[in-house]
Structure 1
Amino acid sequence: MGKIKYYLRLLRPANILTAISDVLAGIALSTASSDAVGIGETDILWLCMATIGLYGGGIVFNDVFDAAIDRFERSERPIPSGKVSVRQAALFGSLFFVFGLLAACTVNIAAGTIAGFIVCAALLYNKWAKHHRLFGPLVMGLCRGANLLLGIAIASHNLLAMGYISLVPIVYIAAITLISSGEVHGGRKSNAMIATGAYTLVIAAIGLFAYIHHSFAYTLSCLVVLVIVIYPPLFRAMLDADAGNVGKAVKAGIIGLIVVNAAWAMASSAFVLTGIILLLLPLSICIARFFAVT
């Protein structure tokens, strides 16, 4: 029983809730289309299970590939502390990937294909791209953009019409990933400035989508909450980019993902899904007190 907590630390459960919110937002966007038919609760459940597997596997392999570096920089993590071996972690992550792929394939071929892309992109990021200033943020952003598409794929005929929306989480996650490069030794103030611009673009894009779909008045409340969550710690990191401020900015950005996804759902007038997504926010904040998000 004692070892379970170390496997949970590998999974970063607060982050997994943000991945679930991605999928729920994608489903909400898909239902915003007049062509969305035949969406059932079972498929919603399978897609939520799929993202748990895919994101869980990706985040475990993050620690697998970083095991050598973490011995010096983050020795408290489960692998370098000796609580979980590299082999055990790799097996654990692989099982999550397989589960995620199978769950996605249960819904339809499009969802299964997207899930396969997410697995490949996650491994590419963890093994190589994360160490590159340009490709790291880009590949991580692609993972999240695909995760939103996973939700949209619940009605696969909507993918071509709404696929462009996946560019927004790519921008948002790329900004977080850029900031996170300074979590250990401190970052660059310029990274925080770039992230500020990226966040602003994301908010503007959601606002425009809501305006076009005649739901701006509803969506504005979510956007205001998002501004309150993400900007203050980001501005502090811009003024003083030490490791502590950068870490708080990254944490706020990750938690803010739930608010971003709630805004997408609200913009789609999917009020029930908006409520479910927002319920994930206090739960994620609570869990983040016990398990690291980075």
Structure 2
Amino acid sequence: MRPANVITSIADIIAGIAIAGFLVPDIWNQEIITHIILLSISTACLYAGGIVFNDVFDVEQDKTNRPERVIPSGRLSLKAARSLGMILFAFGITAAFFVSNTSGYLAITIMLLALLYDKYSKHHVAFGPLNMGLCRGFNLILGMSINLQLDSKYYLIGILPVLFISAITLTAQKETKGKNKLAIAFAMLLDTLIVVGFIVMQQYYDLSIRKALIFLIFWYGINTVAKLRAILNNNPKLIQKAVKLGVLSLIPLNASYTAGFSSVSMALLLLCFLPVSLFLSKKFPVT
């Protein structure tokens, strides 16, 4: 289920709540706090369910490329894995519907996108990265759904995680073989477009680029360095490290949204997820 990655999906929700204007403790009541918890549970289950089915559908390839994974190694049966994935999806969707019908339908959309990626699109050079990006984009919007009166223009912000996750997925292509310099270079271009996106958000949304800047620089810096190393020495180990850092760096990216739309103090609290995720990444696989 990749616990380190699940932490990053919860960070998406927190960022979405900040964009929706609800990451302000002064306005919190029991209902808002309950909804924050339910959306966090929902995204954790949806992400974990998607990862489980990723391994279910990849079992034949993993026997050759990733024999250490839990299913090909024989530690878990294929039937048990399928059951676990379905239970996780059911919990994720149910928790979202307890928030609102909108949240529930978004959760169903995320589940369908995850299954589409796991089964089909991950093998497509262009649609695979886009599909995976859409999973994260809708996950950010799932966080925004805490505010049903939110102006629909804010949903366009979901394009930014689509770009970044597309960049990570491009980097991950052929990660077990290497020889993907062009894909990584294009991924770096997508990262730069996200920085441009923040500048644009300052003009058209109530985002403070001044507050978000330090978090944005941190996020952009670690991704750029990791991807440059993977280009200069295009071997599987450095590519996988760039992918791992890319996934975990979703936390500082989400902290950038949080600082810009809420406060620096809330962004710093969110950034505390990073050492937790890093610790879990040493105990469990990320890619």
TM-score under structure 1 length normalisation: 0.92
Contact 2:223 2:249 in 1 (8 A): yes
Distance 1:215 1:184, change over 3 A: same
Distance 1:185 1:27, change over 3 A: same
CA–CA distance in structure 2, aligned partners of residues 230 and 23 of structure 1: 22
1:246 aligns with 2:235: no
> What does 1:173-192 align with in structure 2 at a 5 Å threshold?
173-192=165-184
| Aligned-residue offset at 1:37 | 9.4
CA–CA distance in structure 2, aligned partners of residues 187 and 87 of structure 1: 35
Q: Deviations over 1:165-212 (max 9, x none)?
A: 000000000010011012111131101110110001112212432465
Distance 1:47 1:214, change over 3 A: closer
Contact 2:207 2:261 in 1 (8 A): no
1:119 aligns with 2:108: no
Distance 1:236 1:40, change over 3 A: same
SS of equivalent to 1:40: helix
CA–CA distance in structure 2, aligned partners of residues 173 and 167 of structure 1: 10
Q: Residue 260 of structure 2 aligns with which residue? A: 267
2:228 counterpart letter in structure 1: F
CA–CA distance in structure 1, aligned partners of residues 144 and 234 of structure 2: 37
| Equivalent residues, number | 283
Q: Residue 16 of structure 1 aligns with which residue? A: 6
Percent of pairs with identical residues: 38
Distance 1:217 1:61, change over 3 A: same
| Higher mean C-alpha deviation, range 152-161 or range 280-289 | 152-161
- Root mean square deviation of aligned Cα: 1.9
TM-score under structure 2 length normalisation: 0.94
CA–CA distance in structure 2, aligned partners of residues 64 and 213 of structure 1: 43
Distance 1:276 1:167, change over 3 A: same
> What does 1:61-80 align with in structure 2 at a 5 Å threshold?
61-80=53-72
CA–CA distance in structure 1, aligned partners of residues 112 and 79 of structure 2: 20
Q: Residue 284 of structure 2 aligns with which residue? A: 291
CA–CA distance in structure 1, aligned partners of residues 88 and 151 of structure 2: 25
2:106 counterpart letter in structure 1: I
CA–CA distance in structure 2, aligned partners of residues 43 and 213 of structure 1: 23
**Structure 2 unaligned residues grouped into runs of 5+:** none
| Aligned-residue offset at 1:157 | 2.5
Contact 1:187 1:241 in 2 (8 A): yes
| Aligned-residue offset at 1:15 | 0.1
**Structure 1 unaligned residues grouped into runs of 5+:** 1-10
1:129 aligns with 2:87: no
Q: Deviations over 1:38-81 (max 9, x none)?
A: 87111000000000110010011000000010000000000000
| Higher mean C-alpha deviation, range 237-246 or range 272-281 | 272-281
Q: Deviations over 1:140-168 (max 9, x none)?
A: 00100000000000012326121100000
CA–CA distance in structure 2, aligned partners of residues 135 and 147 of structure 1: 18
CA–CA distance in structure 1, aligned partners of residues 22 and 104 of structure 2: 22
1:52 aligns with 2:10: no
CA–CA distance in structure 1, aligned partners of residues 71 and 98 of structure 2: 33
